[in-house]
Chains A and B, each alone.
Chain A
């Protein structure tokens, strides 16, 4: 009876102070929601998880046919074009799916939000993590492709996790911002597919960054995905595709700013989600 009982105080602005502690406290929920998303995604599909690999694989095939065979684009050095494209498509698809899943995550979990308390950050962060699982599978596919072409990466591959982290941060930041906006302004659910489609053209997926005219370069480098994709190529393809320092710095800066801004905006609007959704 005298054992100290946990005391919880609810008042305006209080959740703010306990936020990060709560986030830790609710970690089990975080795992289980991520697990749910993964399990549900491939339920009642005939080939199940294979979809995670088939989609990027077909994209790679199409890109190779269109850009390499038809448009006669070449990869720098003696890298097979298919590998050159894969090293870009794989991080790009991770970003695209993580970002769009995260942006719609709050709305598709509106039932939870209006009925149970937990730090809302769990939901979009969980969907980014879920996309990471598909991403791991596509990385395995990349390894198989490399084997097929008899291409062995060198020490640079050790830096790959850093670029994965950058892709993760970019997807999380953008996803948090858009999902928070999506709760209040439903317009943004039309904006997201547009951003994803548009992003594919302004990121170096089918081409290498060196083809971008110099006078546009500073602007082009602001795209966080430029750093991610060029980084991937550099790490996976023995540096055959050069990674320029200014690209890395500017896209990394944008990523950090984007991620911080996403978290800040999300936290700012989070309190009202249950009232608005």
Chain B
């Protein structure tokens, strides 16, 4: 007998698509019109329009096994069937084919704070949400203090949660979920909420759950998290299992898959533009990692390359470009100018041009965005775009050798090149 705790065999889920309707629910009017139309036969049945219903297999022939104590990441692009799989695993919807055998109590977390009621107090919501997630009242009572401490909301326990800040709300919601103790935990990308510090705390909690021999199924887009947490990964592709195995290989592959559909590199028309004279505009911005692949995520310590295109409608004699790096908390971390190192301004002729900037700054894990400024050497701004493109720096190096785990908020933004001299031997010191 195998020691699999989750066995999925030939799982399939079929949805019926109705092409003419935009909403998922129908109205009686539609139903009646359709019936009447079909009664009166065939005016409408040219070959193309006839079958307005079509079967769509969101999942087909999915089979895999997960052993006790494994932490498995499920990755894949949007529409690859991850969410459908999760929904079936958590019994929200039934499969059309196949079966799943779960040997243990399952708790699933598809959303933080499901069922939270804004009018109820923090205390009441803990009980409500706990019950929704499948805890008994006795269990909640025994963990109540822990939950409150974890969420850091002691003072507001008897305040309705509608008066909570969004941070507090999320913390409380996650705290309840984090104290579930099922044998199998199914988690959707709920960690993508809250401030960075709280995210760390949640990750820590998930690691703790995993280290207690529980089985965790974790669905995420965030490669860094998947790598940090999971031992194995399953790559979903077009509704079936594309690949499964070592998390390192798969996350690399996912990176490759992901490139095809990262968000547009065009600077949106609605971007925040504090200044523009119309003489030239920044049009696109692209971030590439060292291998030249387009990305919006970097591992810790990776240098990257920024490619900008700008279109000038007239000749500019003495132009300067400046790229500012802005952290998600609004801090202007640093900037790089074409003037750096004493270089002269450059002449920018009319037309479309591509410029590239290689940046080798050791950024600490955060989300960053860019500010792009083009100006005359005399300080006159030609185009200035704020907060474009986002770049996430992971809290882990590509080879997992270097990580940041705690206190992101007090650590600043960049790492200097420091050399430590210690009077005792240190294991694993990096050679740089």
Contacts and interface: CB of A to CB of B under 8 A. Distances in A.
A7 interface: yes
Contacts of A112: 114-115, 132
Interface residues of B, number: 46
A9 B94 CA distance: 11
Contact of B99 (A6, A9, A39, A117): A9
B386 interface: no
Contacts of B98: 11
Contacts, number: 117
Nearest to A4: B103
Nearest to A16: B94
A276 to B, nearest CB: 6
B110 A5 contact: no
A117 B90 contact: yes
B120 interface: yes
A6 B132 CA distance: 20
Given A6-B105, A186-B27, A14 B128 contact: no
B131 A32 contact: yes
Contact of B15 (A14, A114, A118, A275): A275
A246 interface: no
Interface string A1-36: 000011111111111000000000000110011001
Contact of A116 (B92, B96, B119, B160): B92
A114 B83 CA distance: 11
B119 A28 contact: no
Nearest to B160: A43
A274 interface: yes
Contacts of B267: none
Nearest to B98: A11
B94 A10 contact: yes
A73 B137 CA distance: 53
A133 B110 CA distance: 33
A186 B30 CA distance: 11
Contacts of B100: 9-11
A43 B111 contact: no
A214 interface: no
Contacts of A274: 87, 92-93
Contacts of B66: none
B381 interface: no
B310 interface: no
A184 interface: yes
B228 to A, nearest CB: 26
Contacts of A117: 90-92, 108
A149 to B, nearest CB: 39
Interface string B130-154: 0111001100000000000000000
A170 B321 CA distance: 75
Contact of B102 (A8, A15, A33, A115): A8
Contact of A36 (B105, B117, B137): B117
B28 interface: yes
Nearest to B88: A10
B114 A116 contact: yes
A35 B149 CA distance: 25
A32 B25 contact: no
Interface of B: 15, 24-29, 31, 87-106, 108, 110-111, 114-115, 117, 119-120, 124, 127-128, 131-133, 136-137, 160, 183
30 contacts: A5-B103, A6-B103, A6-B105, A8-B102, A9-B100, A10-B91, A10-B100, A11-B94, A11-B98, A11-B99, A12-B95, A12-B97, A13-B94, A28-B136, A28-B137, A36-B128, A39-B120, A40-B119, A43-B120, A44-B119, A112-B114, A113-B92, A116-B92, A116-B110, A117-B92, A185-B31, A187-B27, A274-B92, A275-B24, A276-B25
Given A28-B131, A40-B119, A112-B132, 16 more contacts: A7-B103, A10-B88, A10-B91, A10-B94, A11-B100, A28-B136, A29-B132, A32-B131, A43-B120, A111-B111, A112-B114, A112-B115, A184-B25, A185-B28, A271-B93, A275-B24
